[in-house]
Copies of this chain bind each other. A is one copy, B any other.
Amino acid sequence: MPSAVLLLSGGLDSTTLLAHALHEGLDVHAMTFRYGQRHASEIEAARRVASHFAVRDHVIVDIDLRTFGGSALTNERMAVPKDRDPAAMHDGIPITYVPARNTIFLSFALAWAEVLEAGDIFIGVNALDYSGYPDCRPDYIAAYERMANLATRSGVEGTNPIHIRTPLIAMTKSEIIKHGLALGVDYAITQSCYDPDSSGAACGRCDACLLRLKGFAEVGTGDPGRYRLR
């Protein structure tokens, strides 16, 4: 089985991504980051998901992006925006954007892929139902892939090129959910919220919750995720 490295946050998108990669017959090495995020309970969700799917291995990488600040996701004193209109979320970059986060995550994945001689790196970015982050756009992914192939052994030796795989990038949230349900994903074990309470219950009002709830509403099934009462 060919190997792949997959960025797993434990949310709806990356869990669907994992089911997709496994369905392709890949030997998946999952990677999750403890980066100082306020919603650190997503790490537990990632562990549940990795365990549920019995991936080959799962590493939790410790980095501290609080060093730089600049985001509500890494600074408890900045409020996570609530109740935004999903249709307007990509007008401007919200305060939940973490500077260079996907670039940092992909760079660790690239190091692991090079050592494993894996040809595929999976990342669950989405350019339709998303929060307006610059590092979720197709142009960015294409530029990253080009850079990655110059950065590594494959760029010198002409062997084993790296592909940045983004099968969800052009799907709506409801299409992602339908895709996952068809692959047998149980979304009860996932966590998407940027601002969960200490028990991991979702707020239901941040961008991530609103996009998720809209997706499940469009699919017409209930969201099995756990929300706290308003």
Where the two chains meet, the residues of A that have a C-beta atom closer than 8 Å to any C-beta of B are 59, 61-65, 67-70, 93, 97-104, 106-108, 110-112, 114-115, 132, 134-135, 137, 139-140, 143-144, 146-148, 150-153, 155-157
Contact = CB atoms under 8 A, between A and B. Distances in A.
B151 A134 contact: yes
A114 B100 contact: yes
Given A150-B137, A151-B134, A111 B101 contact: yes
Contacts of A99: 110-112, 114-115, 152-153
Contacts of A156: 93, 132, 134
A117 to B, nearest CB: 10
Contact of A151 (B65, B100, B112): B100
A62 B65 CA distance: 11
A68 B103 contact: no
A128 to B, nearest CB: 16
A70 B115 CA distance: 6
A143 B142 CA distance: 11
A67 B137 CA distance: 29
Nearest to A147: B143
B114 A107 contact: no
Contacts of A114: 70, 99-100
Contacts of A157: 93
Contact of A100 (B69, B93, B101, B110): B110
The list of the 5 closest CB pairs from A to B, nearest first, reads A100-B111, A70-B115, A99-B114, A143-B147, A140-B150
Contact of A65 (B68, B111, B132, B155): B111
6 contacts: A70-B115, A100-B107, A103-B147, A137-B150, A140-B147, A143-B143
Contacts of A101: 111
